[in-house]
Each structure stands twice: as structure tokens, then as C-alpha cells.
């Protein structure tokens, strides 16, 4: 089929459909005309997609048809219904589908961090390479602990939240490079491992873990989730499967935007723990218990809401018709 000739023949109909789809109010005859044009253009789009599925014309007609469909079907749901679906279906399903990759990122982090902690904590030469004796002593006795209490709890929690949300956003957005996620995992594991090693060398590992665990359990898990999301986008580009590469990346990108939005909330909670619980006068066991409860609540949410939604076909992406990948049969 000659696509140029086909477009020339039907351009007026498509233009008229676009005009009616975006018109403020429609008369009765115009509404009938909109439906007729919608039916014919749907057939045209199916034919075009069979020949050039990723063309600009295909995308343009798909958007016009979506707008036309909205005009004669009305709004899908109200705001409260959309919010409920996001938190009960889309978000937990998006988190759940990243479960194993999240655990893999966590395992890699723990292994790297443990290796650095063991090396720094048992090798005087390695310890001297990262900090002088005076600097290590000041870090253990003052700097590390003061970090959590030198600013008001509210402002500190806000700063932590912003910083961690930025790190997670980078992991999701730049994961497609295939380099950024390993770099973030390694650098953060290295930093935590070196800090643990310095405390271990001073015989104060209990102090280190009493400060890092209350908020770190959820905070680090959020980083692992973000890294898993970034790796999903990268793998969609490398191995799209039966989908076109553009469609695979688009689908993963939309569903992982859902993850990024959810992580903002997750990191807000961990920021509150770091700002108000970690430096508090609570017993160590109580602070760690609060951190563990936050982490347990996350996994309960993921498995209780996310697993059923995921098994039902949800992945955090838009509905297929909203994404423009399918049309109503007419």
C-alpha cells in the first residue's frame, strides 16, 4: 500500500475527527459524525500499524482516537477512584514485580559492604589508607553521631528525604545507561562498609549499627528498589522480547515512574525515622524495632496488595487504552 496516497485520501477525515474530538461542545449531528469518523479512523489505524507500527502518523492518530473516545465515553473515574487504584493496585504491583531484582541488589550491596568492613576493620594498613588515627577517632567519637543531631529533627528529616529521593530518581532515570545503577550500588556499599570497618577497628560496631539500622533498613531497601527499577529499563532496551525496543522501553518507563512516585513516599517515612527516631533517647532495641516495623510494613503491603494485582496482570503501567496501544473494537 502506498502510505502517502492513503494519507492524502483520508487526511480530511482525520483532520475533521481531530477538530471534533477537541471541540468544546458538540451538537447532535456533530456527535454522530464523531462516532462515524472514530469507527473509520480506527480501521485506518489498524491498517497503518500493520505496515508501520512506530510511525509518527500512527502515534498521531492514536492520540486523536483516545481523545475522541473520551468525548463519547465520558471520564473513566473520579480522582478518588484513581488515587485508590494507584495505592491499592498499580503501586504495589509495580513494587512486587521488582521483588527478586530488589533482593539481588540488596545482596550485592551487603556483600560489597561486608567485604570493605572486614578489610578496614581487620587491616591496620587499610584503615590508615582511608583515615589517619586522629581522623578515625574523631569520626567514631564525634562526627558520625553528631551528624544525626546537629540540626533540628524536622529540617534534618527533610534534607535526608530530598537527598535520598534524588539518588533514587537518578537510579531510575539513568538506569537505562546500564552503568549508573552498578556505580550507585558500589559507591554506597563502599561508603557504608568503610564506616562499619572504622567502627569495627575501634571496637564500637554496636554504636555504628545502633545508629544505622533504625532508618537504614527501609532507606537502603528504597535504594535497592530504585536500582532494580533502573535495571529493568536497561534490560528492556537490551532484550525487548517480542515487543519493539521503543515500546518495551516506553512500557517499562511508565510503570517505573509509578515506582519513582512510590519511593518518594517510602523515603519520606524513612526520613522521618532518621530525623526523629535515630537520634532520640529511646533504647537501642526500641529504635531498631521501629525501623524493622517500617520495613515489615512495606513488605506486607507489597505482598498483600501487590502480589494479587501482579498475578491479575497489573504492572504499574497505564491501562492499555490510555497508553494508546489498543482500540475499542467496533
Residue 34: closest CA among 9, 62, 60, 65: 65
Q: In this predicted model, what pLDDT tens digit does every residue of 286-329 receive, in sequence order? A: 999 999 999 999 999 999 999 998 898 887 765 544 444 444 43
Q: What is residue 156's predicted lDDT score, i.e. its pLDDT? A: 66
Q: In this predicted model, what pLDDT tens digit does every residue of 184-226 receive, in sequence order? A: 899 989 999 999 999 999 999 999 999 999 999 999 999 999 9
In this structure, are residues 226 and 246 in contact, taking their beta carbons and an 8 Å threshold?
no
Q: In this predicted model, what pLDDT tens digit does every residue of 27-58 receive, in sequence order? A: 878 888 888 888 888 888 788 777 776 677 77
Q: What is residue 7's predicted lDDT score, i.e. its pLDDT? A: 79
Crossing angle between the packed helical segments 284-301 and 205-238, to the nearest 10 degrees: 20
**Which whole-number Å values give the CA distances from 293 to 215, 286, 313, in the listed order?**
11, 10, 29
Q: What is residue 240's predicted lDDT score, i.e. its pLDDT? A: 80
Residue 45: closest CA among 319, 251, 248, 327: 327
In this structure, are residues 233 and 252 in contact, taking their beta carbons and an 8 Å threshold?
yes
Instruction: Kindly state the helix (H) or strand (E) to which residue 276 belongs, with its residue range.
Output: none
Q: How far apart are CA 71 and CA 74, in angstroms?
A: 6
How many other CB atoms are found less than 10 A from the CB of residue 71?
16
pLDDT bracket for residue 330 (50, 70, 90):
very low
Q: What is residue 318's predicted lDDT score, i.e. its pLDDT? A: 53
In this structure, are residues 146 and 276 in contact, taking their beta carbons and an 8 Å threshold?
no
Q: In this predicted model, what pLDDT tens digit does every residue of 224-265 receive, in sequence order? A: 999 998 898 888 888 887 777 777 777 777 777 888 888 888
Note if the pTM is more than 0.75.
Answer: no
Q: What is residue 60's predicted lDDT score, i.e. its pLDDT? A: 82
Average pLDDT of the residues of the chain: 83
Task: Indicate whether 95 pLDDT > 70.
Answer: yes
How many other CB atoms are found less than 10 A from the CB of residue 24?
4
Q: How far apart are CA 17 and CA 61, in angstroms?
A: 9
Amino acid at each position: 500500500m502506498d502510505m502517502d496516497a492513503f494519507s492524502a485520501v483520508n487526511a480530511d477525515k482525520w483532520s475533521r475527527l481531530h477538530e471534533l474530538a477537541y471541540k468544546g461542545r458538540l451538537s447532535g449531528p456533530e456527535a454522530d459524525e464523531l462516532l462515524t469518523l472514530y469507527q473509520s479512523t480506527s480501521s485506518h489505524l489498524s491498517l497503518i500499524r500493520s505496515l508501520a507500527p512506530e510511525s509518527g502518523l500512527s502515534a498521531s492518530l492514536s492520540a486523536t482516537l483516545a481523545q475522541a473516545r473520551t468525548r463519547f465515553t465520558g471520564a473513566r473515574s473520579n480522582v478518588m477512584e484513581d488515587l485508590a487504584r494507584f495505592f491499592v493496585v498499580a503501586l504495589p504491583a509495580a513494587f512486587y514485580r521488582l521483588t527478586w531484582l530488589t533482593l539481588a541488589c540488596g545482596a550485592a550491596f551487603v556483600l560489597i559492604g561486608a567485604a570493605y568492613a572486614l578489610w578496614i576493620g581487620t587491616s591496620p594498613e587499610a584503615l590508615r589508607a582511608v583515615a589517619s588515627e586522629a581522623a578515625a577517632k574523631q569520626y567514631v567519637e564525634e562526627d558520625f553521631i553528631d551528624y544525626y543531631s546537629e540540626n533540628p529533627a524536622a529540617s534534618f528529616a527533610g534534607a535526608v528525604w530530598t537527598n535520598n529521593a534524588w539518588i533514587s530518581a537518578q537510579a531510575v532515570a539513568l538506569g537505562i545507561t546500564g552503568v549508573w545503577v552498578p556505580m550507585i550500588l558500589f559507591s554506597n556499599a563502599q561508603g557504608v562498609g568503610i564506616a562499619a570497618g572504622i567502627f569495627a577497628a575501634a571496637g564500637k560496631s554496636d554504636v555504628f549499627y545502633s545508629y544505622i539500622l533504625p532508618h537504614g533498613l527501609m532507606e537502603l531497601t528504597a535504594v535497592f528498589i530504585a536500582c532494580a527499577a533502573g535495571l529493568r529499563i536497561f534490560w528492556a532496551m537490551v532484550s525487548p522480547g517480542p515487543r519493539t525496543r521503543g515500546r518495551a522501553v516506553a512500557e517499562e518507563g511508565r510503570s517505573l515512574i509509578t515506582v519513582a512516585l512510590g519511593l518518594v513516599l517510602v523515603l519520606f517515612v524513612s526520613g522521618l525515622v532518621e530525623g526523629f527516631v535515630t537520634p532520640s533517647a529511646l533504647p537501642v532495641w526500641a529504635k531498631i524495632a521501629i525501623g524493622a516495623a517500617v520495613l515489615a510494613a512495606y513488605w506486607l503491603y507489597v505482598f498483600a496488595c501487590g502480589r494479587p494485582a501482579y498475578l491479575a496482570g497489573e504492572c504499574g503501567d497505564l491501562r492499555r487504552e490510555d497508553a494508546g496501544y489498543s482500540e475499542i473494537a467496533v
